[in-house]
Amino acid sequence: MWIFTASQDVLFRRTTGILAVRFFYLHKREELNVNQRFMREKPILPLLLSMALPMVVSMLVNSLYNIIDSLFVAKIGEDAITALSLVYPVQNLINALAIGFGVGINAVISYHLGAGEIDKADAAATRGIACSIVHGVVSMIVCITVMPRFLRLFTDSEQVAEMGTQYASIAFAFSVIIMVGLAFEKIYQAMGRMQVTMTALLFGCVTNIVLDPLLIFGIGPFPQLGMRGAALATGIGQLVTLAFYLVIYRLRPVSVHITRKGLHGTRGITARLYAVGIPAALNLALPSLLISCLNALLAELSQAYVVVLGIYYKLQTFLYLPASGIIQGMRPVIGYNYGAGERERVSRIFQVALALCACIMMIGTVLCLAFASPLMALFTENIRTVVIGAHALRIICVGFLVSAVSVTASGALEGLGKGTASLVISLCRYTVVILPIAVVLCRIMGANGVWHAFWVTEFISAGVALVAWKRV
């Protein structure tokens, strides 16, 4: 008969305890992985709706950050809203970098989950967070440094430039928070945990809504900070969103983990993140380049046109985001099925997503045609600006419906890890096609030429998108 010594008994207890914990961990993780098979097995329309609806809510909520800032800032004066319009392209660039790289994280994690390669999914998440921290630090330093000079390229008003600098100096100080928060968002989306991202954004948005009037106008014990208050409210809202992700990650089990081991080994993961993330970031950054170029073009005609363009892009963000929510919900599903080798299902997912996006954009077209003036009046009390803006909105919205093709194809290609093909579509929409057309038509038709360039470009880009998708 074997008799344990005291030390052996302790060793046995520790060993069996560790094995038990390890067994539970592996069993729980396997259970989570099995539960994710719904992305492969559930009927496509209900699946996309269940994935997309939380993302639609999330994206609409996310759009409120800029919308709410604009509404409150507009009460300061037209110089303030002009300053915000000039800062917006750079602000959008930061978001583009964060979301674009996040798309790379999403695509790589989804693919490896579909292929059953859990360690590689962990590595993608871990390295995604690490790279996002670096991106945030670099973005913060560069943007805060260059913004004063950047603003003076587009306005002669010292007041406008000063207001823009005040807003930017605080808004860009939260760059690391933005980058890491969006990385977590894409990690949870890759796992199909859309409700988590929706809740996180809701917490952040509510925080922003509450703090905006308090910090801008100095209500109660709060100081009157003006433009700085608007930026600070937005930044704190983003901080609340990130804090929520961190709490949920610690408290609830997940199928993808951020580990020290993920920083080492598993070659090629980081390269794949950037192979998808860089084109995706460029896709999202290109609108900022476009806005800056169009601002320069329109500024020669009238400052009112610059204001109109800035207001349109805020409205566009709000109108396009339901479709973007569909795309966000589609990416992990299409990536998971692609990794699992379900090519026919991938094609059907694309078709259903395209139909949903087309319906959304049709609704957006009707709203812009019917309520163009009231929509513009939300952002300015200047009657001339409202009239000009309503006319511009009615022209631009002609291309909304057909844009569903390029938007859906671009998102689907990103989900498949084919970032370069997606980038080609975006280059057509935001630089290669639209800028030459805008310049030519502006010389012929004035500002109306710029507005017509939008819908003409959408028709051309849709053709390019269909060709790119057929080559998959």
DSSP three-state, residue 115: coil
User: Which two tokens mark 312?
Assistant: 């349109």
Closest of 298, 305, 303 to residue 435, by C-alpha: 298
Q: Binning pLDDT at 50, 70 and 90, where does residue 37 land? A: low
- The pLDDT, as a whole number, for residue 359 is 93
Closest of 169, 16, 32 to residue 87, by C-alpha: 169
Report pLDDT digits (tens) over 253-284. Answer: 778 888 888 787 666 888 888 888 888 888 77
Q: Residues 400, 406, 409, 412: is their CA dihedral positive or negative? A: negative
Is the confidence at residue 2, as pLDDT, over 70? no
Q: Under a CB-based contact definition with an 8 Å cutoff, are residues 401 and 365 in contact?
A: yes
Is the confidence at residue 115, as pLDDT, over 70? yes
Q: Phi/psi of residue 247, each to 5°? A: -65, -45
Where helices occur in 252-302 by DSSP H, the ranges are 269-299
Residue 359, classified by CB atoms within 10 Å of its CB into exposed (0-12), middle (13-18) or buried (19+), is middle
**H helices, E strands: number in the chain:** 18, 0
- The pLDDT, as a whole number, for residue 63 is 66
Half-sphere exposure of 87 (CA within 13 A, CB side): 32
Residue 145, classified by CB atoms within 10 Å of its CB into exposed (0-12), middle (13-18) or buried (19+), is exposed
Phi-psi region of 368 (alpha: psi -120 to 50; beta: other; left: phi over 0): alpha
Where do we find the tokens 């009046």?
377
Report pLDDT digits (tens) over 356-398. Answer: 999 999 999 999 999 999 988 888 888 888 999 999 999 999 9
User: Which two tokens mark 404?
Assistant: 């569903």
Query: Strand ranges (DSSP E) for 288-398?
Result: none
DSSP for 24-35, please give it: HHHHHHHHHHHH
How far apart CA 462 and CA 405 sit, in angstroms, is 5
Q: Under a CB-based contact definition with an 8 Å cutoff, are residues 408 and 357 in contact?
A: yes
Q: What are the residues whose beta carbons fall under 8 Å from the beta carbon of 418, sequence distance 6 or more? A: 472
Q: Binning pLDDT at 50, 70 and 90, where does residue 7 land? A: very low
Is the confidence at residue 32, as pLDDT, over 80? no
Closest of 236, 245, 136, 235 to residue 184, by C-alpha: 245
Lowest mean pLDDT segment, chosen from 9-13, 263-267, 417-421, 442-446: 9-13
Distance of CA 254 to the CA centre of its chain: 23
Query: Strand ranges (DSSP E) for 107-160?
Result: none
C-alpha separations of 143 from 62, 285, 294 in Å: 22, 14, 21
How far apart CA 391 and CA 373 sit, in angstroms, is 8
Q: What is the mean pLDDT of residues 56-69?
A: 70
Report pLDDT digits (tens) over 342-358. Answer: 888 999 999 999 999 99
Lowest mean pLDDT segment, chosen from 128-137, 196-205, 243-252, 273-282: 273-282
Is the confidence at residue 208, as pLDDT, over 60? yes
